Every structure is written in structure tokens, then in C-alpha cells.
């Protein structure tokens, strides 16, 4: 597995990471702990050294990650996040300094580690000045409890404000061939400031894997049941787009998911996607995306396709979109 450095001063990580949210949150029933441990350890064997968790995914999520990486803790980078009241995304935001410190202590314990490699603010809290947030994480870094500071779904003004207090190693936001809003202003800013980008949902919440069509049924509790992009008409239209991507993938001897990940890696050398899965064979498929070499001609074909066949449906409901800082 090739490696990349997140931004100018961030950690060195595998070119493809593993998003661990789906092990316990957002996509139906939680994964069995033994299965989750086996998946994370198999990912490490495959060369993945970057694992993403969060307080909001439930205490079990951090505990799973912490237990799984114990045999090779010093060889991996663990990211986790703070920013919600009592760790509950439905309860609203809370990035007060006291809350950040409490989450850090709890996460260190659950992750069975003495330092959090990358500590993100999960969502910008408009009630807490970004200078206070960045200053608190700066203090945690000085105390040796955190190595790097990150933001998630932050907008231009808050990225600049945070970075002025404590250099931001990485921004985690949704970015894929299906979701490209970052390209106009955010990505140029990250390049200017030397901040890495960690795309979550790099496969469009599974759509770009080529395994979802109009007949696909999602489990109870799966967030995609409520997302506009996954409603019947949009799903049918978007499946046609993925089919076209699949034709390009077949010509390259790759899968649609690998093309989607290769496309992201080709955008900037400091982009590190974190596809999530609960299945070992999907993890191995995703890891193979790091080996896909897209030529200028390939990228041109994909650009033409994306321009000709726009994605149908918003990525979030209006209520979910309201929490995004832009």
C-alpha cells in the first residue's frame, strides 16, 4: 500500500484508510465485535494504517477500534472526533472547551491509547468561537494527549480561523464523483494552507460500488432510506451514471469502486479517502483502489461523463444539510 502525508505537517498514512462508522452507526445493526476486530486487523495486513472513528458513533465504536489495533498500535494512525452533546448527534452541538477535554479523556480510555493521532471537530459549533476550539486542541497537543487537529465539514472562514490558532492537519468532508461541492473554494484553500483532505463517503454511500440499483432494499435504520439521492427516481437515474462508470472500470480491469477511489487519489497528492465497509472482501477491493493508475485520457473520459450525466438528488435532507458550515 502506498502512503501519503496529510497536508504539509500532518501524519503519514496509507493512501486508502478505513472509515469505521458503519461498524456501529448509520447503516443498520451494529457489527459483531469479533467480526469488526477481524476486519480491522485484516485491513492492517492489507496495508491500511489509517482508521477513523468518533464519539458520535457510540462508545462501542472507539472500543472496537482500540481493541483491534492493540497488536500494532504504534504502526497506525487513529482519528476520532468531538462536537456533539453527550456524544449524541441528535442532541445538537457542543464544542465547549470543557466538553472537548472530557471527550479527549473518554476517547483515550476507549481507544486504549495514550495519544489521539488526529482529533477532529465533528461539526462546527456556531455558539463556540473557533478560536476557543482550536485553542483547546492546541493545549491538548501541548499536553501530549493529541498529535494533530482536524475539522469536519467546515467552511472557508472557520478553516482559516482555526488554522491561525493551531495548524489544521486535515479536513474531513464528503467528496466523491457524486459530491463535488468542495472543488470551487475549499480544495484551493486547503492547497493554500497545506491542509490534507480526508473524503468520507468516497463511494457515494455505496452507490459508486455499482451494487445499488432501483430494486435495492436497505436495512431498517440505514440512513440511506431517507436521503434524497437514494429515493426511487433519483436512484434509477444515478444507477445509469454508475453503469457508465462501470464501463470505464471494465476497460481498466478494475471495479467501479476502485475507479471512484482512484479518481479521488488522482485529484491531489494529499487526499486520503476513507471508504467504510463491514465486509472483508469489500475492504480488500477498496484497498485495491490505491493501485489504479488513471491516465489523463481516463480522467478526461470521467470528466466528460460527469458533465454529461449530472447526479440526481441532494446528498442530505434539509435538516442534515443545515448542520454543514459553508
Instruction: Give the residue among 208, 217, 215, 211 at the shortest CA–CA distance from 241.
Output: 208
Whether 34 is covered by a domain: the verdict is yes
CB-CB neighbours of 72 under 10 Å: 12
Whether 23 is covered by a domain: the verdict is yes
Alpha-carbon gap, residue 10 to 254, rounded angstroms: 30
Whether 25 is covered by a domain: the verdict is yes
CB-CB neighbours of 23 under 10 Å: 29
Catalytic site residue 57?
A: yes
Handedness of CA 154, 156, 158, 164 (dihedral sign): positive
Alpha-carbon gap, residue 166 to 242, rounded angstroms: 40
Which pLDDT score is estimated for 217?
84
Which pLDDT score is estimated for 222?
83
Which pLDDT score is estimated for 202?
96
Of these residues, 57, 120, 175, 316, which one is catalytic? 57
Whether 112 is covered by a domain: the verdict is yes
pLDDT tens, N- to C-terminus, the chain (326 residues)? 999 999 999 999 999 999 999 999 877 778 999 999 999 999 999 999 999 999 999 999 999 999 999 999 999 999 999 999 999 999 999 999 999 999 999 999 999 999 999 999 999 999 999 999 999 999 999 999 999 999 999 999 999 999 999 999 999 999 999 999 999 999 999 999 999 999 999 999 988 988 887 788 888 888 888 888 888 888 888 888 899 999 999 999 999 999 999 999 999 999 999 999 999 999 999 999 999 999 999 999 999 999 998 888 888 888 888 778 87
Whether 304 is covered by a domain: the verdict is no
Residue 110 lies in domain: 3-206+261-292
Whether 188 is covered by a domain: the verdict is yes
Q: Domain count of the chain?
A: 1
Whether 305 is covered by a domain: the verdict is no
Alpha-carbon gap, residue 261 to 263, rounded angstroms: 5
Q: What are the angstrom distances between the C-alpha of 31 and each of 3, 41, 209, 293? A: 28, 15, 20, 33
DSSP 3-state percent helix, strand, coil across the chain (nearest 5): 50, 15, 35
Whether 276 is covered by a domain: the verdict is yes
Helix (H, G, I), strand (E, B) or coil at 65: helix
Which pLDDT score is estimated for 312?
86
Which pLDDT score is estimated for 325?
83
What is the CATH number for 105? 3.20.20.100
C-alpha cell at 273: 479517502
Handedness of CA 71, 73, 75, 79 (dihedral sign): positive
Q: Which residues of 96-120 are buried (b: 16+ CB within 10 A; e: fewer)?
A: beebbbbbbebbbebbebebbbbbb
Q: What are the angstrom distances between the C-alpha of 152 and each of 31, 38, 162? A: 25, 28, 12
Amino acid at each position: 500500500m502506498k502512503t501519503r502525508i496529510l497536508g504539509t505537517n500532518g501524519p503519514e498514512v496509507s493512501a486508502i484508510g478505513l472509515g469505521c462508522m458503519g461498524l456501529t452507526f448509520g447503516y443498520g445493526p451494529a457489527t459483531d465485535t469479533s467480526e469488526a476486530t477481524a476486519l480491522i486487523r485484516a485491513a492492517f495486513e492489507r496495508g491500511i494504517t489509517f482508521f477513523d472513528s468518533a464519539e458520535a458513533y457510540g462508545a462501542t465504536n472507539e472500543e472496537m477500534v482500540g481493541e483491534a489495533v492493540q497488536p500494532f498500535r504504534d504502526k497506525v494512525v487513529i482519528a476520532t472526533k468531538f462536537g456533539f452533546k453527550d456524544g449524541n448527534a441528535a442532541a445538537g452541538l457542543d464544542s465547549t472547551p470543557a466538553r472537548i477535554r472530557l471527550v479527549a479523556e473518554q476517547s483515550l480510555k476507549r481507544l486504549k491509547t495514550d495519544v489521539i493521532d488526529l482529533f477532529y471537530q465533528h461539526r462546527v459549533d456556531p455558539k463556540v468561537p473557533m478560536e476557543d476550539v482550536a485553542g483547546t486542541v492546541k493545549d491538548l497537543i501541548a499536553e501530549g494527549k493529541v498529535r494533530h487537529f482536524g475539522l469536519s465539514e467546515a467552511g472557508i472562514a472557520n478553516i482559516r480561523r482555526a488554522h491561525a490558532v493551531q495548524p489544521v492537519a486535515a479536513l474531513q468532508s464528503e467528496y466523491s464523483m457524486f459530491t463535488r461541492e468542495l472543488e470551487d473554494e475549499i480544495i484551493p484553500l486547503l492547497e493554500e494552507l497545506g491542509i490534507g483532505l480526508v473524503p468520507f463517503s468516497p463511494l457515494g454511500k455505496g452507490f459508486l460500488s455499482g451494487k445499488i440499483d432501483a430494486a435495492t432494499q436497505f436495512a431498517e435504520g440505514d440512513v440511506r432510506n431517507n436521503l434524497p439521492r437514494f429515493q426511487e427516481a433519483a436512484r434509477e437515474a444515478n444507477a445509469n451514471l454508475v453503469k457508465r462508470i462501470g464501463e470505464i472500470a471494465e476497460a481498466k480491469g478494475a471495479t467501479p469502486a476502485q475507479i471512484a477511489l482512484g479518481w479521488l487519489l488522482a485529484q491531489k497528492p494529499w487526499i486520503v479517502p476513507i471508504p467504510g465497509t463491514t465486509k472483508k472482501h469489500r475492504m480488500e477491493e477498496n484497498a485495491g483502489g490505491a493501485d489504479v493508475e488513471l491516465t489523463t485520457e481516463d480522467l478526461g473520459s470521467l470528466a466528460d461523463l460527469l458533465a454529461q450525466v449530472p447526479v440526481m438528488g441532494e446528498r442530505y435532507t434539509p435538516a442534515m444539510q443545515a448542520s454543514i458550515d459553508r
